Structure 1
Amino acid sequence: MNTNFTPFPDLQTNRLLLRRLTSDDCVQLQQLRSDENVNRYLKRPKSVTIDECEAFVKKIDGNLNDGIGAYWVIAPKTDNTLIGTVCLWNFNLENETVDLGYELSPTYQGQGLMLEVVEKIIAFAFNTMQAKTIFALTRPDNEGSRNLLKRSNFQQDVDYQYVSEEDAEGDVVYFLKN
Structure 2
Amino acid sequence: MRYLIVSDIHANWEALEAVLEDAEGRYDRAVCCGDLVGYGADPNRVVEWVRDHCSVTVRGNHDRACTGLEDLEWFNPVARAAAVWTLDNLSPENATFVRELPHGPSFMDGIQLLHGSPLDEDEYVVGPEEAFEAFAYLETHLAFFGHTHLQGGFVWNQARVETIPPVPIDSDR
- TM-score w.r.t. the length of structure 2 is 0.28
- TM-score w.r.t. the length of structure 1 is 0.28
Point out the structure with the larger strand share.
1
